[in-house]
Amino acid sequence: MYKYIKNQRKNILFAILLLSSVGLQAQSPDTRRIESWVTYPDRSLLLAKEQITTPFEKNEGKQLPIVVDDRQSFQEIDGFGFALTEGSAFHLNRMSSTERARILRELFSTDGNNVGINYIRLTIGASDLNNFVYTYNDLPDGETDFELKKFSLSHDLDDVIPVMKEILRINPAIKIMASPWTAPAWMKVGNNYRGGALKPECYGVYANYFVKYIQEMKKQGIMIDAVTIQNEPLNSRNTPSMSYFTEEHALFVKEHLGPAFEKAGLQTKIIVFDHNCDRPDYPLAILSDPETARYVDGSAFHHYRGEISTMSTVHLARPDKNIYFTEQMVTEKPGSPEIHIAGQVKRLVVGVMRNWSRNLILWNLAADPLNDPHTDNGGCSMCQGAITIDGDQVTRNLAYYVVAHASKFVPDGSVRIASTDGYDRAVDLTEDEERPEIKRATLIEHSHVLPNVAFKTPQGKIVLVVANDTWSVSTVKIQYNGAYASLKLPPGAVGTYIW
């Protein structure tokens, strides 16, 4: 009898605790309030925090909601950022030390009101946004250096490495990817920085060139997390540039770069393709060889051509390999009274993240008011920086705000979670016309909610980025754990919502 009474007491106590827990869970969504950060197309608000927070309520209202479900998770997020080209570093390094420190802290610090960029793409040697073309092993015509005795980071020591070190003092955990635009000319067919393929007899030395770069950067305190094999291997119109056919790309990884990394004990990730979304066949062909695929972490994409959904196509075929988004130029007219941010956030933050990318890198961090520097004969004369630097004066451009709407709130280690897409099915609950107390459920084929993407941070916060790409004021209705919130978003505006 004593054991029976004791067990009954335990059962009653457990029931009380369970009911209390359920009660707390039922009430907790109502106590949450949404913090809103918005950018309006008339520039009246630019990544501005709204003074009033919005509560979750039990009343669902009449509009179809964006249902956010953190029980469904997708890819982990590595970060958001820009390419730090030699041109970007050149301008930053010529600012006064005080103003350079100020803008770098704003860009890369995760504290206070800064935007927390947490991913950088470096160029291995020069890109087309350089004052001049160089590699780390440039030789007079007719000379070779298969032992890489003359390898030197000397040009990067002028601007890139000092600026990168300053960034690392602000954010030591920032992830760094590096990409080459060309091999040294003596390694190439045609002995030219522009176009041309890697000579077959130079595959081995070029693999060691990558190894040497990673090791020498490590000596500078700069850890390279990942490399892509070649920026835009199907584009020989840039200066510098270098072409690869698929089989050449695969052979270089399989027989040279992968084994060289393995021999040197490097943990740096190898990423293939690094070109447009119109060629899913390119990375998939490389990954179709198991011996090559074992060295490859994933595939990288740009979006100058093709559909952004191509990344999901590659993920569908090879879900065991990661997806990265490594370049997109985003520009606006200097001094424009409007900022056309909704379309770019829809395409890049929402589109890229919903299609399995672990990161978002835009092109490029900084330029001057003339979009200089760039190389002649194939350099990009229209590539505006995320910031424009004119002496110590800094202008924040469209690309800055596109990235900041995510980087400020979604740290490394966050995960994308489920949220309703405009083409997803939805359930509409309505009142019965005769008996209002009765609910009717209707299946809607397309929800037509605004473009959005949701994340859960390592700290347990939910972040929802929404772009109003319509011509009318829209209500952003959010459903989370059975509670609802409604927020107004003007046409052309973007909102990042956190709770």
Return the DSSP state at 252.
Answer: H
| d(C-alpha 308, C-alpha 315), whole Å | 12
Contact assessment for residue 101 and residue 166, using Cβ atoms and an 8 Å cutoff: yes
180 token code pair: 């080459």
Q: How far apart are CA 396 and CA 114, in angstroms?
A: 13
Catalytic, out of 86, 248, 327, 338:
327
What Cα–Cα distance (Å) separates residue 436 from each residue in 59, 133, 429, 443, 444? Answer: 15, 73, 12, 19, 21
Q: Is the peptide bond before 451 cis (omega within 30 degrees of 0)?
A: no
Sign of CA dihedral 116, 117, 119, 122: negative
Q: Which of 86, 106, 166, 232 is catalytic?
A: 232
- The terminus-to-terminus CA distance of the chain in angstroms comes to 51
Beta sheet of 226-228, edge-to-edge order? 322-327, 298-306, 269-277, 226-228, 175-180, 119-124, 79-83, 359-362
Tell the residue number behind the tokens 């001049």, with chain if given. Answer: 132
Report yes or no: 45 and 38 within 8 Å, Cβ to Cβ.
Answer: yes
247 is known as an active-site residue: no
431 catalytic per annotation:
no
Phi/psi at 488 (5° precision): -90, 140
Structure tokens at 185: 């000319």
Q: Please write down the HEC assignment for all residues of 409-450.
A: CCCCCCEEEEECCCCCCEEEEEECCCCCCCEEEEEECCCCCC
**In Å, what is the CA distance from 82 to each residue of 29, 196, 386?**
36, 27, 8
Helices first, then strands: H and E counts in the chain = 13, 23
Say how far apart CA 299 and CA 323 lie, in whole Å: 5
> How far apart, in whole angstroms, are the C-alpha atoms of residue 193 and residue 444?
56
DSSP run (H or E) holding 453: strand 452-456
What type of residue is 126? A
Handedness of CA 26, 28, 30, 34 (dihedral sign): negative
Residues labelled catalytic:
232, 327
